[in-house]
Amino acid sequence: MPGKDAERGRMEPVRVVVDDRERGCSAAVILAGLPGVTCEVRRLELGDYEVDGGLLVERKTLPDLVASIEDGRLFRQAYRLATSALRPLLILEGVAADLAGCRMRREAMQGALITVSLVWGIPVLRALDGAESARLMLYAARQLRRAAQVMVFRPGRRPHGKRRAQLRILQGLPGVGGVRAERLLAAFGTVEAVMAASETALRRVDGIGAETAAAIRWAVGEAAAEYGMNVEH
């Protein structure tokens, strides 16, 4: 049987901080009107919503997704989300009809989402509209609360949590497993430095040969073409 603390945790309102640039979006408006939710609007340095102190949500419409792939912004955001102290989540909102007139190949969008989910380790959820985005955020927060009761999870920064996140990101790079990820992090200090390193610098790390160094540079290049995404204009 759950104790009083667990029961009280389930009953407490879900606290949501909404970035002020999301103020008029349907997801934000609906969240503010849901029972059991308290909302605060202010400028966030990262993401669109901080949910219950442990979840950082980036919400994108499908046209937003296309634009962020084209200018490379998606991958910069993904890096920052993945290295945040909070759990990251990307919600894609909309239906196929929203992409009418879009000339980006489907394969390009799929490639981008594979990079976000597998390389950066960020879950990607789909929502039909703002109402579903709001429900997903609320449901995710409540699921994390349930998990906390079983796993003694505490939202926010945890000891060595950032290092684990960094190693997970590096292990998602082509040819980089656990041992090479440790060596790369030891050599460069941060994931950002690894991503910025030249092939020559990468090859200086024990176990990183020319082929692996070239594959890493191919994977982390910002231009869409470097991710195997042929964007048609």
Structural domains in the chain, sorted by start: 4-151 (3.40.50.10130), 161-227 (1.10.150.20)
Cα separation, 160 vs 64, whole angstroms: 34
Q: Residue 1's pLDDT is what?
A: 46
Q: Residue 119's closest CA among 183, 178, 174, 60?
A: 174
Q: Residue 30's closest CA among 134, 138, 142?
A: 134
Cα separation, 15 vs 170, whole angstroms: 32
Q: Residue 218's pLDDT is what?
A: 82
Element (H, E) at 168: helix 161-171
**What digits encode the pLDDT tens for the residues 106-161?**
888 888 999 898 888 899 999 999 999 999 999 999 888 887 666 444 444 444 56
Beta carbons within 8 Å of 126's beta carbon, 6+ residues apart? 91, 92, 93
Asked whether 229 and 221 are in contact (CB, 8 A), the reply is: no
Residue 96 has pLDDT above 90, yes or no: no
Cα separation, 181 vs 185, whole angstroms: 6
Q: Residue 103's closest CA among 71, 66, 69?
A: 66
Q: Residue 201's pLDDT is what?
A: 87
Range scoring the smallest mean pLDDT among 100-109, 157-166, 199-208: 157-166
Task: Provide the 3-class DSSP secondary structure of residue 104.
Answer: strand
Is the CA virtual torsion 27, 64, 90, 98 positive or negative? positive
- In this prediction, residue 51 has a pLDDT band, given cuts at 50, 70 and 90, of very high
Residue 206 has pLDDT above 70, yes or no: yes
Q: Residue 158's pLDDT is what?
A: 45
